[in-house]
Structure 1
Amino acid sequence: MKILVNNKKAFHDYEILQTYEAGVSLKGSEVKSLRLGRGNLKDSFVRIIKGEIFLLGAHISFLQNTNSYFRPDEKAPRKLLMHRKEIDKIFGYVTKDGLTLIVLSLYLNKKNIIKAKVALCKGKNLHDKREALKKKDADRQTRAAISNFGKGKII
C-alpha cells in the first residue's frame, strides 16, 4: 500500500471513530497527477447526496504535459464508490449522531487502484487539541530520553 496524499490536519481537528475504504472515480490525467503526489486533501470533506458519496474540496492539480483540450476542474466533486449498505449505515451515523465524514488519505492498493480511506469522526474542541499536542510532545521527549539513555548520553 503506497500512500499518495495524506490529510495531516484531520488527526489534529477530529477524533477518528471508524474508517472505511472507498474507490474513487477519477479521470486519467488525475490519476497520473496523484501518482506524482500533486493532490491536497487539507480542506476536503465527504457528503452523501441522493444516496451517493462525493468527495468535495479536494484539490488535484492537472499536469502540464497532458492535452490542453482536456483539462478537468481541479476542485470538482469526485464520486466515491462504496456498497449501498455501507452508505446507508454511514448516513445513519451522520444524521443521528452528528458525526462528520472526511477523507484521511488516498492510496494505491495491491492491484494499483486508487482508494480513499474515509473516516467517520467527531470534531475536537480547542482544549482537546491542546491536550493532544501536549501528550504528543511528552511522548516524543520520553522516546528521545529512552534512546539517549541506551547510548550513555544524559540530557
Structure 2
Amino acid sequence: MAAKKDAGRRVIAENRKARYEFAIGETYEAGIVLTGTEVKSLRKGQANIAESYAAIEDGGVWLINANIPEYLSAGNFFQHEPRRKRRLLMHKKEIHKLWIASSRQGMTIVPLELYFNPRGLAKVRLAVAQGKKLHDKREDAAKRDWNREKARLLRDKG
C-alpha cells in the first residue's frame, strides 16, 4: 500500500472507521517518537492505526496499539516491536486541554491519520471524540444518502 499525497502531506495511514464510530470534536497535531526501522517502514507506507487510541500517562500523551510492521530489510537485530507504545510530542498546554476533554464522561482521544508533513517529519492528527450510539450512525447514514440523492437530482435537472 503506497502512501498518498494530500496538500503537501504524505498520508501513511488513515483511521476511516473513527468518523463512523465517533463524533469528532477538536483536532490536534502531534509529533511521534520513532526508531530508525519504524521510520523506514512508514516511508514504505506500512502502518495501521484503525484499532489504536491515545492516552495520557505520566504527564505525556502516548499512542497505544498502533501497528507499524517490522522493516524486513534491516535484519533481526535492529527490529522494533510492531505494537509498542509510542510517545507523542505536544505542548504542555495542549496536553492539559486533551486531559480535561478526555476526562469528561464518554470522551476519548482517537488518532485520525498518520502522515509525513512537507518537511518530512512523522505526525499524527488526534481528535477528541465521543462514541456514537446506533441511532446516531443511522441518522448520519440517512443524511449522507439524502445529500447524495440531492446532488444527483441537481446534476440531472441542471
Q: Is the structural similarity TM-score above 0.5?
A: yes
Corresponding residue to 1:10 among 18, 39, 64: 18
Spell out the pairing of 1:96-115 with structure 2 (5 A cutoff).
96-115=104-123
Match for residue 69 of structure 1?
A: 77
Q: Distance in 2 between matches of 1:34 and 1:141?
A: 39
Match for residue 133 of structure 1?
A: 141
Does residue 26 in structure 1 map to residue 34 in structure 2?
A: yes
Q: Which one has a bigger Cα radius of gyration?
A: 1
Q: TM-score, normalised by structure 1?
A: 0.90
Q: Distance in 2 between matches of 1:136 and 1:37?
A: 30
The count of corresponding residues between Structure 1 and Structure 2 is: 150
Corresponding residue to 1:90 among 98, 118, 137: 98
> How far 1:117 sits from its partner (Å)?
0.3
Does residue 38 in structure 1 map to residue 46 in structure 2?
A: yes
Match for residue 59 of structure 1?
A: 67
Q: Runs of 5+ in structure 2 lacking a partner? A: 1-8
> Is the alpha carbon distance of 1:149 and 1:62 closer, same or farther for their aligned partners in structure 2, counting shifts above 3 Å?
farther
1:45-101 alpha-carbon deviations (Å, 9 max, x no partner)? 000001110000111111221222112111101100001111112111211354110
- The code of the aligned residue for 2:30 comes to A
- The code of the aligned residue for 1:103 comes to P
Write out the 4+ residue segments of structure 1 that deviate beyond 4 Å after TM superposition.
Answer: none
Q: Distance in 2 between matches of 1:144 and 1:26?
A: 46
Q: Runs of 5+ in structure 1 lacking a partner? A: 151-155
- The code of the aligned residue for 2:16 comes to K
Q: Is the 8 A contact 2:65 2:83 kept in 1?
A: yes
SS in 1 for 2:51: coil
